[in-house]
Amino acid sequence: MDSKGMLALPSTASSMATSNDPQHLVDALPYLDNEPSAEDRQMALQLIEVECRTFRPTKDYLARLSKPNFDVFLTPCLIEEYKRIGNKQEMDKLDMSRYEMPSPANTSRSTDKKAWIKALDNGKAQLEHLHLRNMNVEIMDEYASESCLQFNKLLEQTHKKEEAENFQIRTEVLETHVRRKRSQLEGGDKLKQLGQGWVEHVTKNYKMELANLDLERQINNLAKKLKVDPETYENETETYNEIVERISDEFRFLEERRAFSQKDDLHKRTSVRFPLRYRQYLFATLAILQIVVSIGMFIFAITRYSRLFTQNAHSDMLFDFVKAENFVDTNQEGAEIIAIKLGSGLFLPAIFQLISGIVVLGSVYKKPPPTYLLVLCILLTIFSIVLWIEPLVLATLELNLRHIQFLSDETNIAYFRLMIVLTVLLAIDVLIVASMLLIYATAQFTHFRTIYNSIMDLHINIVTLIIATIALVLSIYSLANSMTDANKWRNSSRNTLALYGIGLRESILTSYIFLGSLFSMLVSAMRLQTFRFSTFFIQGLSLFMLISNLLNSDRITSVTHNVRVMLNVGTAEPFTGEILLLLYVFVLLLAIAILVQLFTTTFNIFKHFLDNYETPRKLSYPEYQRSAL
């Protein structure tokens, strides 16, 4: 390797022309390297010595300059003062006579009119001076305190300003050092990687040269044994390339065998491009299904919402703005308000789903569909999925209240429980239809050639699926116990009815997250590149619904307090406090798992969009044809 390309400090001396020796490299990564050794210090001293030889200082290095004239700035007063100091004489004392007030009364000048006039003038001057001092004292008493206070405030402001500037400068210096350290460490890692790569390539080249020499020696030995002149190879009827092609065709079955070097690298570098092409009939089918479901829900919402103007027309009770069923007199009135809330809650998701279906149906005319229509479809579908949760919970609660809580006939309870299960399944089906459209729309955006798949994704998906399964089982258990007849519960604590309906919202959300995690795991396990972008949206949507519905402030406060009370009192109906605690522990773990899963999915999808200086672009390796040679 040429030493001219090395990073070194050039020397001005001709004798140090060979100082760019790799063994004596002076690099610029002080945060990366260790402390200088004794050899490095010796080398630095040698460089300093060489520079000193080039620049030879003399004892009187100012001889070429004219001598300065130091007396040019002296004045007569300074000259006299220097003489006095040189003679060690004291300074003249101050004349204090102007502060004295002698009277010529008992002196020889008692009859001198001028002496009395001078003494009178001196007295007037002293009195005026005292008067002036009194005025200054009065002014100081009136204004000095405020002036000093303002001056102190000014000093404090100046002090704070200087401290802030000092802190800012220190922060900038620290950030500069941190940024410099980080860049140097990154540069050091890149240098190490490049050095290792260079060593590997040089080693490979060396081995290839040895192999070529060995092959050349074998060819020469075979030519001597066969008594064939090597120059006649070019006159053969079948060229070397034709021989290679023929032998490659004979051993083409070897290409069917896959060589597994490392499972992790194989999982990262290979992605299956699932042939999910744009099909108009499939897109139109999903759109029509969306429109039919949304129209049916919209009609049902109108019938329920109209009860507000018929049954409650003569009521004088005001509804609560946060929870409308609060402050009712009977449970039947609460169930009626929940039915009205169900109708009002169905309007927005039905409208969003209807518009989404119309947008999708309108994009069928063009193949492929316009990008702006796909983006609009994705946004509207996400809004509808988020808004479907509350109406589905209200529908199940209304069904339970009317046919289990207020029903006296015990024979029909099993039938209506079956109706609740069917309602939950219908809720999941409504969410799945919208999610299928979301997956199909987002799959049309997957035009990336480099979407990575890592084995870590598969492991995180498996963990998320396990946690979602446990949370779903606990939710179903809580739902099965909390949706029973509340009149038969033993009131071990005050307001036991607060546990009514626990597990319903959790079961719907965990079911949806379970299916989404199963879909993400299959995509990661099969390395389906087309659906990687869809999993990104499904995971983000699942995390948002989980946090907004189950991990909000009201929910966390109520769960924490209720678990503490249930454990202290020993509540056993509808379920124990341990069940509620385990349920929300796994809900929290599920949120953390989805968040980690979202990080890894985002990194593997958008990894190739990073800056070229941080992520080297992939090299296009030629496809070598295998052969027996």
Q: What is the pLDDT of residues 10-19, one digit of tens each?
A: 443 334 444 4
The mean-pLDDT minimum among 42-51, 52-61, 255-264, 490-499 falls in 255-264
SS3 category, 351: helix
**Alpha helices (H) along 255-330:** 263-269, 280-305, 307-310
**Rounded to an integer, what distance in angstroms lies between the CA atom of residue 352 and that of residue 357?**
9
Q: Which residue has the higher pLDDT, 297 or 314?
A: 297
- Find out whether 280 and 367 touch, Cβ atoms under 8 Å: yes
Q: Identify the sign of the CA torsion 379, 383, 384, 386.
A: positive
pTM of the model: 0.51
CA angle 363, 275, 542 (to 5 degrees): 70
pLDDT surpassing 90 at residue 309 = no
**Rounded to an integer, what distance in angstroms lies between the CA atom of residue 367 and that of residue 454?**
33
Write the secondary structure of 465-524 as one string of H (helix), E (strand) and C (coil): HHHHHHHHHHHHHHHHHHCCCHHHCCCCCCCHHHHCCCCHHHHHHHHHHHHHHHHHHHHH
pLDDT digits 0-9 by tens, 156-204? 999 999 999 999 999 999 999 999 888 888 888 888 899 899 999 999 9
pLDDT surpassing 80 at residue 237 = no
Residue 621's pLDDT is what? 38
pLDDT digits 0-9 by tens, 460-481? 888 999 999 999 999 988 888 8
